Amino acid sequence: MTAPAWLAVTPGEPAGVGPECLVRLADSGATAPLLAVCDPAVLASAATMLGLDIDMVEWSPGLEPRAGQLACYPVPLRAPARPGHLDPANADYVLDTLRQAVHLVRDGHAAALVTGPVHKGVINDAGHHFSGHTEFLADLAEVDRVIMMLATDSLRVALVTTHLPLRQVPDAITTEAVDSAIRITADALQRQFGIAKPRLQVLGLNPHAGEGGHLGHEDDDIIAPVIEACRRDGLDLLGPVPADTAFTPTALEGCDAVLAMYHDQGLPVLKHAGFGRAVNITLGLPFTRVSVDHGTAIDIAGRGIADASSLGHAVEIAARMTRAASQ
């Protein structure tokens, strides 16, 4: 069965820059047909503010993609939205757009999910425990473990732990966590990126990868044995590699992805190298999900200066991953 052409897109926080970015992308010509999952009034308002004439139609099963058209699966706002003004009343709306988009993908109406930025704080202020898209989508898909990976054209960084306070990170670096992160990342690189035998560079947790136990025991006691076990199963791994030398051009040569132990160990390097051209990919879901690499930018929302390039890259990479997975 041929996968549907549509990419389901959630613009995210309605008071942020997500709606602006989506209508900009639709106006400039996306690389794949877009199915916006949101309140169409939010997109219409953004288009009016930007002076864009968007050909927007309501989506229904069987609708054929047409060049220059933006399809919309309507999800109603809970309260009027104003750019730059967060309102906890719309937290449920934001979560509803994600739920509906996942249904569209899992029911076969869309090929992949592309997500715009959400505001974790306002969602939590509304009474929801929400640590991020990655964890929320894992719960929706009923999978025990997913991996966050950010990627540019030349660098991919996956994470063993994601949104944890730094004090909690060492306790979260367990044999099970490192093992599953390695295997999920390697499997996704094969299935969704078409890399027959991916090579992963696995970082150590401590400075100098523990310096033989003098700077921490996790590298020798946990990370290194997991790497050896995975190598015995045929995976191509380097490590534990000290993080301060892992991102040199020589170290990255021939490496398909870097596995960092925690959020700020790997992502500052990636965002420095490719901010605005990077995307966030959730590995381990039963569907493809790609997101922008920026936040809601409440401070510039409604001013007409938001850059849609990250959303454009997310759409392009989601389409590319969908094609690779279908081959």
Is 208 annotated to bind ligand?
Answer: yes
Task: Report how far residue 186's alpha carbon sits from residue 163's, in angstroms, rounded to the nearest whole number.
Answer: 22
**Hey, CA dihedral for 278, 144, 105, 127, is it positive or negative?**
negative
**The residue to which tokens 């191509």 are assigned:** 236
- Known binder of ligand: residue 199? no
Q: Is 294 annotated as a binding residue?
A: no
280 in a known ligand binding site: yes
Nearest to 284 by CA among 141, 133, 127: 141
| φ/ψ (deg, to 5) at 281 | -120, 135
Angle at 191 between CA 280 and CA 189, to 5 degrees: 50
Burial 249-283 (b: 16+ CB within 10 A, else e): eeeeeebbbbbbbbbebbbebbbeebeeebbbbbb
* Annotated binding-site residue? 85: no
48 is in an annotated binding site: no
| Rounded-to-integer distance, Cα 275 and Cα 31, Å | 20
Residues 6+ apart with CB under 8 A from 23: 43, 46, 47, 50, 52, 54, 70
Query: Known binder of ligand: residue 271?
Result: yes
The helix or strand, by DSSP H or E, that contains position 176, with its residue range, turns out to be helix 175-191
What is the helix (H) or strand (E) element at residue 190, kind and residue range?
helix 175-191
- What does the block give as tokens for 258? 């870097």
* Residue 48: other Cβ atoms inside 10 A: 12
The tokens for 283 are 């590995």
Contacting residues for 9 by C-beta, under 8 A, at least 6 apart:
22, 34, 35, 36, 37, 101, 113, 114, 115, 116, 311, 315
* Residue 120 is labelled as binding a ligand: no
* Residues that constitute the known binding site for substrate: 133-134, 271, 280, 289
* Residues that constitute the known binding site: 133-134, 163, 208, 263, 271, 280, 289
* Residues that constitute the known binding site for a divalent metal cation: 163, 208, 263
